[in-house]
């Protein structure tokens, strides 16, 4: 079984983003970029399936600017076999990403696609579900455990009330939650080896997908700030303030 | 224009998230119908509750085993089967609808607007990006709108309606997934997303036992829900459904008590809209103090039992 893992290049999760003063977006110049953390978990899970003999090949795919090849290299350095870069400029929305991925899936014929549950830049949490819809495949979002059962899958999902386990008819779409695994770091020898692994260069035009955004971004603004309050000296003062000043007790 | 609101319920009672999403749905300006899809007898009770909500003009009920366990494929198929009569589809951004609505959107060839925090106009919405560090205003150019609502930012709609209840046209179950089992914590405490008070613990709690010994008695004294930071959940000190933050639950209670939580931006994203924030942390430079209304620099292992006692003396 081949496993396809889409990965996204995003602002590193340690960076506190700044909104541009003209309200046209967030400052991305000279900001550290990394693989979306949920996608790292997806790559790791695919590699574990391969190491357990359940998967034969792990292919990482990214849709974005030329620099997204660095994100693909990260996946290759972790252990993925090869990459596909679909070059696209500007903002490509989850729906358009899902349409491109559908075309990639049709060409690659994987038995499983593992995606991050959300990208930490736009926080949309849509692409996996949309891809499942377009392919007519089963889906398990927010996975904390994944087991292969022949060509089917058993997935435990993190839901509001706790955990839910479902069985998926393969081929299937799985999106990762935080507790699925802890991704490995790429070792130096593997980083060197990854430089020789193939990355297939494609463009959006190769797939004939219209990526015109459906959502027009009118404005990007700072959130309403919250000011630091006061420090209280002890529990008695805290209780007193909560009771008399804040009125929440 | 007519909006279909998809109801959140537990197959027995209607959830408060529905009332909050209804407020957003009503702001779109059209008539609002509610779809209650579930399994078992409780679905009817939830539908009756929905019919009494102010502003609802019709309730559609779909009851059947395919909807019993919130599987994405049959519920998405049902909503799409009803789509012809509606211009907008609104649901609260609970785990059930985060799962289902993008599937609906793609089937309708619509770009979903996720987790809106404000309705600016029927086609224009505000939504947080980058863990709430920026707020984007987006205008949807799609003919139909698919929207999920961040419930913590909308007031709950009250009762006052008497809508007719009808059976929804059925849709075939694609049969792609099946329910195996679930582990749902049974608790008498209020649910995080509707609790008026929340007490959360962080990595400094050091163990699950300490959560039970320090956090839970304080929460119970306050009648509060219990939350946790990602660090505490990852370390196994607290179950995943307690996680508050960018990728966990987003809450906005009257009072949020953060105990031993440093305040990473990902955690702040989930609680900074709380009305009053209290932080107890022994590190006076912890970022949590930058958003706290009341900060207590203290060892939580002394301060928390003291606070629990003091509340006891207040008759709490």
Residues of B in contact with A244 (CB under 8 A): none
pLDDT tens profile B59-102: 999 999 999 999 999 999 999 999 999 999 999 999 999 999 99
Best probe of the B interface among A135, A166, A227, by most B CBs < 10 A, is: A166
- CA separation for the pair A19, B217 (Å, rounded): 41
- The continuous run of DSSP H or E covering B70 comes out as none
Q: Nearest C-alpha of chain B: how many angstroms from A194?
A: 30
Q: Nearest C-alpha of chain B: how many angstroms from A6?
A: 17
Q: Is A225 on the interface with B (CB under 8 A)?
A: no
Confidence band of B40 (pLDDT split at 50, 70, 90): confident
Q: Is A135 on the interface with B (CB under 8 A)?
A: no
User: A169–B175: do the CB atoms touch at under 8 Å?
Assistant: yes
Pick from B137, B181, B292: which is nearest to A229 by CB?
B292
Region A225-245: mean pLDDT is: 93
C-alpha Rg value of chain B to the nearest Å:
21
Give the helix ranges, DSSP H, for chain B: 16-26, 42-51, 72-82, 95-107, 208-210, 216-222, 230-234, 265-268, 300-313
Residue A131 belongs to domain spanning:
2-245
Considering only alpha carbons, which residue of chain B is nearest residue A24?
Answer: B136
Residue B286 has pLDDT above 90, yes or no: yes
pLDDT of residue A93: 98
Residue B18 has pLDDT above 70, yes or no: yes
CA distances to A92, A240, B117, B279 from A229, rounded to whole Å, are 41, 15, 25, 10
Output the six-digit token pair for A23.
């309200």
Q: Is A210 on the interface with B (CB under 8 A)?
A: no
**Cβ(A159)–Cβ(B95) under 8 Å?**
yes
Considering only alpha carbons, which residue of chain B is nearest residue A126?
Answer: B102
Output the six-digit token pair for B266.
């990902």
Q: Please give the full DSSP string across B237-298, using - where no structure is assigned.
A: SS-GGGBBSTTSB----SEEEEES----HHHHTTTTT-SEEEEEES-TT-GGGGT-SEEEES
**Cβ(A116)–Cβ(A124) under 8 Å?**
no
User: B289–A223: do the CB atoms touch at under 8 Å?
Assistant: no
Output the six-digit token pair for B158.
């009250």
Residues of B in contact with A161 (CB under 8 A): 10, 182, 184-185, 241
- Looking up tokens 């931006």 gives B265
Residue B116 has pLDDT above 90, yes or no: yes
Residues of B in contact with A162 (CB under 8 A): 182-185, 239-241
Total tally of structural domains belonging to chain A:
1
Output the six-digit token pair for B130.
């980058």
pLDDT tens profile A124-148: 999 999 999 999 999 999 999 999 9
Confidence band of A228 (pLDDT split at 50, 70, 90): confident
Output the six-digit token pair for B164.
């007719």
Q: What is the CATH number of the domain that holds A229?
A: 3.40.50.620
Residues of A in contact with B272 (CB under 8 A): 226
**Cβ(A214)–Cβ(B111) under 8 Å?**
yes
Pick from B106, B276, B311: which is nearest to A98 by CB?
B106
Residues of A in contact with B291 (CB under 8 A): 226, 228
- Looking up tokens 């590699």 gives A47
User: B230–A137: do the CB atoms touch at under 8 Å?
Assistant: no
What is the DSSP pairing of strand B134-140 with strand A215-221?
antiparallel
Pick from A11, A162, A218: which is nearest to B185 by CB?
A162
User: A158–B142: do the CB atoms touch at under 8 Å?
Assistant: no
Question: Which 3 state secondary structure label does DSSP give B315?
Answer: coil
Residues of B in contact with A117 (CB under 8 A): 247
Q: Nearest C-alpha of chain B: how many angstroms from A78?
A: 22
Helices A127-135 and B72-82 cross at an angle (nearest 10°) of 70
Best probe of the B interface among A31, A135, A164, A246, by most B CBs < 10 A, is: A164
User: B311–A214: do the CB atoms touch at under 8 Å?
Assistant: no
- Tell me, what DSSP letter sits at residue B13? S
SS (H, E, C) chain A: CEEEEECCEEECCCCCCCECCCCCCECCCCCCEEECHHHHHHHHHHHHHHHCCCCCEEEEEEEECCCHHHHHHHHHHHCCCEEEEEECCCCCCHHHHHHHHHHHHHHHCCCEEEEECCCCCCCCCCHHHHHHHHHCCEEEEEEEEEEEECCEEEEEEEECCEEEEEEECCCEEEEECCCCCCCCCCCHHHHHHHCCCCEEEEEHHHHCCCCCCCEEEEEEECCCCCCCCEEECCHHHHHHHHHHHCCCC
Helices B72-82 and B95-107 cross at an angle (nearest 10°) of 50
Residue A249 has pLDDT above 90, yes or no: no
Q: Is A145 on the interface with B (CB under 8 A)?
A: no
Region B220-249: mean pLDDT is: 95
Q: Nearest C-alpha of chain A: how many angstroms from B167?
A: 25
pLDDT of residue A227: 86
pLDDT of residue B316: 67
- The continuous run of DSSP H or E covering B115 comes out as strand B113-116
Residue B226 has pLDDT above 80, yes or no: yes
- CA separation for the pair B307, B300 (Å, rounded): 10
Output the six-digit token pair for B101.
């609505």
Considering only alpha carbons, which residue of chain A is nearest residue B69?
Answer: A164
Question: Which 3 state secondary structure label does DSSP give B67?
Answer: helix
**Cβ(A63)–Cβ(A5) under 8 Å?**
no
pLDDT of residue B186: 81
- CA separation for the pair B134, B98 (Å, rounded): 21
Q: Nearest C-alpha of chain A: how many angstroms from B53?
A: 24
pLDDT tens profile A84-106: 999 999 999 999 999 999 999 99
Percent of all residues in chain B with a pLDDT value above 70, rounded to a whole number: 100
Confidence band of B120 (pLDDT split at 50, 70, 90): very high
pLDDT of residue B170: 82
Residues of B in contact with A228 (CB under 8 A): 289-292, 295
> Which ipTM value was assigned to this complex?
0.95
User: A141–B72: do the CB atoms touch at under 8 Å?
Assistant: yes
- CA separation for the pair B212, B217 (Å, rounded): 7
- CA separation for the pair A98, A237 (Å, rounded): 55
Question: Which 3 state secondary structure label does DSSP give B152?
Answer: helix
Output the six-digit token pair for A58.
């792990």
Is the bond into A171 cis (omega within 30 degrees of 0)?
yes
Output the six-digit token pair for A129.
């579900």
A-B Cβ pairs (cutoff 8 Å, strict): 257
Residues 18-57 of A with CB under 8 A from B: 19, 26, 38
Residue B16 has pLDDT above 80, yes or no: yes
Among the listed residues A36, A97, A226, the one whose alpha carbon sits nearest the alpha carbon of residue B247: A36
| Mean per-residue pLDDT of chain B | 96
User: A121–B70: do the CB atoms touch at under 8 Å?
Assistant: no
Pick from A164, A178, A216: which is nearest to B141 by CB?
A216
């Amino acid at each position: 079984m081949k496993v396809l893992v889409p990965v996204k290049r995003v602002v590193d999760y340690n960076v506190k983003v700044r909104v541009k003063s003209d309200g046209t977006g967030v400052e991305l110049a000279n900001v550290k970029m990394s693989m979306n953390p949920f996608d790292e978990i997806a790559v790791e899970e695919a590699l574990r399936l391969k190491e357990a003999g359940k998967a034969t090949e792990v292919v990482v795919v990214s849709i974005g600017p030329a620099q997204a090849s660095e994100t693909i290299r990260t996946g290759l350095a972790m252990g993925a076999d090869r990459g596909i870069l679909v070059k696209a400029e500007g903002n490509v929305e989850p729906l358009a990403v899902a349409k491109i991925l559908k075309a990639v899936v049709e060409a690659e014929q994987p038995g499983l696609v593992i995606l991050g549950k959300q990208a930490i830049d736009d926080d949309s949490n849509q692409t996996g579900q949309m891809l499942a819809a377009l392919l007519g495949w089963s889906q398990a979002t927010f996975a904390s455990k994944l087991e292969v059962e022949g060509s089917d899958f058993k997935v435990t999902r993190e839901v509001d009330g706790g955990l839910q386990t479902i069985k998926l008819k393969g081929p299937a779409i799985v999106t990762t939650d935080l507790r699925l695994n802890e991704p490995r770091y790429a070792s130096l020898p593997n980083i060197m080896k990854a430089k020789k692994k193939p990355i297939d260069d494609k463009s959006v035009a190769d797939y004939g997908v219209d990526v015109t955004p459906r959502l027009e971004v009118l404005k990007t603004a700072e959130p309403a700030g919250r000011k630091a309050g006061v420090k209280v000296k002890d529990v008695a003062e805290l209780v007193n303030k909560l009771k008399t000043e804040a009125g929440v007790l | 224009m007519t909006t279909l609101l998809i109801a959140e319920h537990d197959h027995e009672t209607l959830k408060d998230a529905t009332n909050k999403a209804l407020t957003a749905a009503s702001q779109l300006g059209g008539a609002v119908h509610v779809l209650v899809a579930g399994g078992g007898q409780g679905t009817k009770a939830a539908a009756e509750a929905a019919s009494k909500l102010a502003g609802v003009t019709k309730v559609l009920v779909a009851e059947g085993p395919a909807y019993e366990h919130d599987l994405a494929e049959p519920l998405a198929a049902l909503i799409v089967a009803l789509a012809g009569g509606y211009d907008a589809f609104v649901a609260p951004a609970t785990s059930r609808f985060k799962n289902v609505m993008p599937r609906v959107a793609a089937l309708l060839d619509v770009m979903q607007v996720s987790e809106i925090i404000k309705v600016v106009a029927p086609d224009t919405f505000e939504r947080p990006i980058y863990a709430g560090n920026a707020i984007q205003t987006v205008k949807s150019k799609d003919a139909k709108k698919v929207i999920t609502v961040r419930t913590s930012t909308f007031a709950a709609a009250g009762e006052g309606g008497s809508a007719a209840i009808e059976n929804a046209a059925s849709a075939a179950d694609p049969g792609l997934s099946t329910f195996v089992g679930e582990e749902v914590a049974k608790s008498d405490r209020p649910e995080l997303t509707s609790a008026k008070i929340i007490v959360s613990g962080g990595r400094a709690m050091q163990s699950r036992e300490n959560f039970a010994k320090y956090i839970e008695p304080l929460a119970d004294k306050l009648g509060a829900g219990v939350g946790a930071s990602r660090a505490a959940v990852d370390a196994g000190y607290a179950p995943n459904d307690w996680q508050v933050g960018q990728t966990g639950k987003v809450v906005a209670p009257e009072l949020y008590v953060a105990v031993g939580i440093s305040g990473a931006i990902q955690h702040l994203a989930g609680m900074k809209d709380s009305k009053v924030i209290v932080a107890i942390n022994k590190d006076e430079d912890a970022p949590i103090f930058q958003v706290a209304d009341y900060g207590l620099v203290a060892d939580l292992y002394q301060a928390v039992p003291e606070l629990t006692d003091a509340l006891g003396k207040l008759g709490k």
